[in-house]
Structure 1
């Protein structure tokens, strides 16, 4: 794979970033792009993940609506059997 950058200013910035971080130019570009994508996701969300989360919340709400008191008590009892007071598996 290749990426040909024909902008002298960009090449200089990548070179400086690589030197300052002690990494290769490829690693410097990869990390910078990864960080920018992470910032964008934090600012604007990730549409696919947001849609999956919304669907999951609907499913959970439907399940919770169908649970009776006996069901809820059974779940609490099972959790007590599976996990200690710190929330760690027994």
Structure 2
């Protein structure tokens, strides 16, 4: 299978990447493409997890009045458990 990239910019970037990494242009482009696909998948996975968490929070209902994350009453003045 062959690929012929006609973009001068793409060829210049591939050459720069190959020189910077000490790889052939083909290896440098393969590695860059694999890294980008991994990055996209990771971002997609993150977006899916974030959406699931938001849905769970939405279904759990509103935060009760007076609810707080202040737990200072559980600790003394030195920050030790009371």
For residue 32 of structure 1, report the CA deviation from its aligned partner. 0.2
For residue 3 of structure 1, report the CA deviation from its aligned partner. 0.8
Which runs of no fewer than 5 residues in structure 1 stay unpaired? 51-90
| TM-score normalised by L of structure 1 | 0.49
Larger radius of gyration: 2
Structure 2 counterpart of 1:14: 14
Listed one character per residue, the Cα deviations across residues 6-36 of structure 1 (whole Å, up to 9, x for unaligned) are 0001100000100100000010010000000
Runs of 4 or more, structure 1, over 2 Å off, are none
Instruction: Report how many aligned residue pairs link the two structures.
Output: 46
Higher relative contact order (CA 8 A, sep 6+): 2
